[in-house]
Amino acid sequence: MTRSLPPEVSAAQFDRALAGWRAIVGEPHVVTSADGLAAYLDPFAPGEASEFSASAALLPASVDEIRAVLRIANEFRIPLWTVSTGRNFAYGGAAPRLSGSVVLDLQRMNRIIEVNETLAYALVEPGVSYFDLYAHLRDKGYRLWVDPPAAGWGSVVGNTLERGFGYTDYGDHAATQCGMEVVLANGDVLRTGMGGIDIGTAWQLYRPGYGPSFDAMFMQSNYGIVTKLGVWLMPTPPAYLLGEIQFQHETDLDAIVEILRPLRLDDTIRNNAVIEGGLRRAAGLSARSPWYEGTGAMPESAVTAMLKKLGVGRWNLHFALYGAPELIDARYAIVQRAFARVPQAKFSATRYTGDAQPVAGGDRNLAGVPAMSAFRMLDWRGGAGAHVDFAPVCPASGRDALRQYTMIKTRAAEYGFDYYGGFTAGVRHLHHIFAAIFDRDDAYQLEQAGELLRSLMSDARAAGYGQYRAHLAYMDFAAAQYGFNDGALLRLSETIKDALDPNGILAPGKQGIWPEKWRDRRGYT
């Protein structure tokens, strides 16, 4: 196998850079072997994984080491791709957008720097996973919850920077972040907001600080390396209720969204309630083969029979109510009254005291307990299960939800995929998440998954919808959808990029933002 090099860097130059990096982070923390680098390939690549491959990986242990690493990257103009734990599966894993980039893997920086129970926050380094933070809070007896995303092994920093979400009242991770420490491409280290005060006392309490506020600028961008991040935590509630409402008809989606929106707007339901499609709910209980063995999307008759047998609705609304039992009862009565308008809606609810934990994986997320429930889906089609996600933002209107659902389901069936999806409810919008599940060992399915994603993006663009997150392969395409005034938004992003990172060394191409040096690499794959 030929050795992979950073773009436009000779083998001799790369050797000099590597020698410099070894002196900084230590020999064992510079990965160059083919085996070692395989861990940085995208395990779910909807195409050739080698299209996005690293030439090396560096695992620094401190901010000072990162700054020293940057000096060398700037000297040799070698692009770095930062990951915290690198488990951004379905969007690229730890792999870089620009092949030949060196992955800056921050998993060794894994200290939980502070937990403040009274003010309900934590300050963590990039390598801290949701499992780690959860275990720490339990061990020390803090009465605080984490808000885990579907896969608990990912990092708090990585998930928050990508604007991931969970399921409790603290489910909007970008909104519950407060204060960052960031290393810029030139090695400067800054602290955002109140962190700008040297002996500060409110870094994790008041995000804006004084003057312009920059935290959001480091999310889904390539402007800096985040080395510390503050996150607000939910105080353990006295009690909570986990509710499910099953709906029997596809077209009920319209009514569900129309009824849910006012309940989210007036705070009766405060968590990111999920409207889960029947097939996705079923995939948590069973594989596909007992219900349908054919190729192509499952026919309607087979889906209906499966849902009936498994006792699953066409749509299944999952929500949670946290707080004092009297308030939970009052809010639940309002929820029941509202949804009883939908014919044949079936209600179920379980009540817990704040310290009790549900047994089932998905429910545990709603109780602040990280799990790996997200991986059950990989067994749906059998073989080497993988998925790639299409995630358009949907206005919280029944009409839009039904329109997106119909559009995606129809297109997916054309390419032989089931509608495996659902809507996670913000307040005025829904995150519509569809996953094309495929067997990586099946070349045809793999190719079709890629084709489907491209079609879906064109459909979305024509209908005026945009994605909230995209796989490496589609980042440019997704960014191009935000094309108002001949792409003024991306022009601004790239103007800032060039000012902060003139050598173009930090994550070129991330979110479609290319530094001047690599702008010719933009490609709508």
Nearer to ligand ADP, 236 or 511 (CB): 511
Binding mask 136-155 for ligand ADP (x = CB under 6 A): ------------------xx
Q: Which of 162, 166, 136 is nearest to 151 (CA)?
A: 166
The nearest distance, CB 212 to ligand ADP, in angstroms, is 20
* Binder of ligand ADP out of 158, 166, 171, 508 (CB under 6 A): 158
489 torsion bin: left (phi>0), alpha (psi -120 to 50), beta (else):
alpha
Residues 6+ positions from 470 with CB-CB distance below 8 Å: 91, 391, 477, 478
How many residues contact ligand ADP, by CB under 6 A? 21
- Binding string, residues 182-221; x marks residues near ligand ADP by CB under 6 A: ----------------------------------------
| Residue 109 identity | M
C-alpha R_g of the chain: 23
3-state class (DSSP) for residue 136: helix
Which of 91, 130, 167, 419 is catalytic? The answer is: 91
Of all residues in this chain, which one has the CB nearest to ligand ADP in the complex?
A: 158
- Cβ 155 to ligand ADP shortest distance, Å: 3
DSSP 72-115: HHHHHT--EEEESS---TTTTTT--SSTTPEEEE-TT---EEEE
In three-state secondary structure terms, 520 is helix
Q: Which residues contact 4 (CB under 8 A, 6 or more apart)?
A: 37, 53, 54, 55, 99, 100
Bridge partners, residue 83, by sequence: 105
What beta strand segments (E) does 328-477 contain? 346-353, 385-390, 393-395, 421-425, 429-439
- For residue 359, give both structure tokens: 């047994």
**Would you count residue 163 as binding ligand ADP (CB under 6 A)?**
no
Q: How far is the CB of 154 from ligand ADP (least distance, A)?
A: 3
Half-sphere exposure of 376 toward its Cβ, with a 13 Å CA cutoff?
19
Q: Closer CB to ligand ADP, residue 83 or residue 369?
A: 83
The residue among 84 and 271 lying less far from ligand ADP, judged by its C-beta, is: 84
Residue 453 sits at the vertex; the CA angle it makes with 463 and 416, to the nearest 5 degrees, is 110
Q: Which is nearer to ligand ADP, 182 or 306 (CB)?
A: 182
User: Is 469 assigned a catalytic role?
Assistant: yes
Least separation in angstroms between residue 480's CB and ligand ADP is: 19
Does residue number 162 form part of the binding site for ligand ADP (CB under 6 A)?
yes
Binding mask 70-109 for ligand ADP (x = CB under 6 A): ------------xxxxxxx-----x-----------x---
Q: Which of 32, 101, 159, 445 binds ligand ADP (CB under 6 A)?
A: 159
Task: Work out whether 475 is an interface residue with ligand ADP (CB under 6 A).
Answer: no
- Least distance between ligand ADP and beta carbon 510 (Å): 5
Contacting range for ligand ADP; rule: CB under 6 A; set: 53-61, 157-165, 319-327, 328-336: 157-165
Q: Give the contacts of 43 (CB within 8 A, at least 6 positions apart).
A: 49, 89, 93, 386
Catalytic residue among 142, 292, 468, 482: 468
User: Which string of b and e fits 326-335 if b means at least 16 CB within 10 Å?
Assistant: eebeebbeeb
Identity of the residue, 161 or 453, whose beta carbon is nearer to ligand ADP in the bound complex: 161
- Residue pair 185/199 in contact by the 8 Å Cβ criterion: no
Indicate the residue among 79 and 154 with the shorter CB distance to ligand ADP: 154
Among 70, 225, 257, 430, binds ligand ADP (CB under 6 A): 225
Query: What gap in Å lies between CA 177 and CA 122, rounded to an integer?
Result: 10
Q: Which is nearer to ligand ADP, 86 or 277 (CB)?
A: 86
Q: What CA–CA distance (Å, rounded) separates 138 from 214?
A: 32
Report the interface residues with ligand ADP, using CB under 6 A.
82-88, 94, 106, 126, 154-155, 157-159, 161-162, 225-226, 507, 510
Question: Which residue numbers are catalytic?
Answer: 91, 468-469
